[in-house]
Amino acid sequence: MDRRIEEYIFDHLGPESSVLHELYRYTHLNVPYPGMISGHEQGRLLSMISHMIHPAQILEIGAYTGYSAICLAEGMIAGGRLHTIEQDDERAEIASAFFDKAGLTDRITLHVGDALEIIPRFDTVFDLVFIDAAKKQYLDYYHAIFDKVKQGGYVLVDNILWYGKVADPQVQDETTVKLRSFNDFVCGDERIKKAIIQNRDGLFILRKNN
């Protein structure tokens, strides 16, 4: 994105909360691959979508350091619950600490481990699912969560454009090929309605048919 446009967007979003600002800075100073954090632009989008849906139950696959979970939790109904899964112990500890700072420990449950092992244990029906974990496993995550999403519920999938690589047939690395396969599957899945937002690295918005 043109830097001037990016700055304009940030100027018109208003400031981050103090907790999110601290988390963003801490992540960039202390955590490998800080570009994985959602950040202010995407965080406001996730918060807005959550406010529009008013979910009672949210599942997030890929907590990283907790930024996106805090944003998604902003739109939950009173008494709502967000389950987030993170495979890395150190990142999970950071997320847990910031959930506490945000006053969300009674609304967010953090699960540490392999999402594909944890998801089958849920007997919850989710209003909203956010997938932002290992890109090679997106289709596996999708299959694992689909029957746990309520009819009329939503699935958000991050990084579907993969820096534009998915649109370049010359790029054939394993991650790009897997993401293409995922995108193609979703495109042909008649059980859902779909939209794509070219926000940062692309976001699929999927609605499970009633």
Task: Read off the pLDDT of residues 10-63 as tens digits, 9 standing for 90 and up.
Answer: 899 999 999 999 999 999 999 999 999 999 999 999 999 999 999 999 999 999
Tokens 């801490």 locate to 26
Q: Which two tokens stand for residue 136?
A: 């090679």
DSSP 201: T
pLDDT given at position 101? 98
Q: What does the alpha-carbon distance between residue 39 and residue 173 come to, in Å, rounded to a whole number?
A: 27
CA torsion sign, 45 to 46 to 50 to 51? negative
Residue 197 host element (H or E): strand 192-197
> Distance between CA 30 and CA 15 in Å, rounded?
22
pLDDT score at 168: 96
Query: What domains lie within the chain, and their CATH numbers?
Result: 3-208 (3.40.50.150)
Distance, in Å, from the CA atom of 27 to the CA atom of 21, rounded to the nearest integer, reads 10
Express each pLDDT in 162-206 by its tens digit.
999 999 999 999 999 999 999 999 999 999 999 999 888 999 999
Res 199: pLDDT? 81
What is the per-residue pLDDT for 159? 96
Handedness of CA 147, 118, 162, 99 (dihedral sign): positive
> What is the distance, to the nearest Å, from the Cα of residue 106 to the centroid of all Cα atoms in its chain?
20
Q: 2 pLDDT band (50/70/90 cuts)? A: confident
Judge if pTM exceeds 0.75.
yes
Q: For residue 85, give the amino acid letter.
A: I
Report which secondary-structure segment, H or E, holds 101.
helix 89-101
Read off the pLDDT of each residue in 63-92 and give the average, rounded to a whole number: 98
Q: How far apart are CA 207 and CA 191, in angstroms?
A: 9
Read off the pLDDT of residues 82-141 as tens digits, 9 standing for 90 and up: 999 999 999 999 999 999 999 999 999 999 999 999 999 999 999 999 999 999 999 999
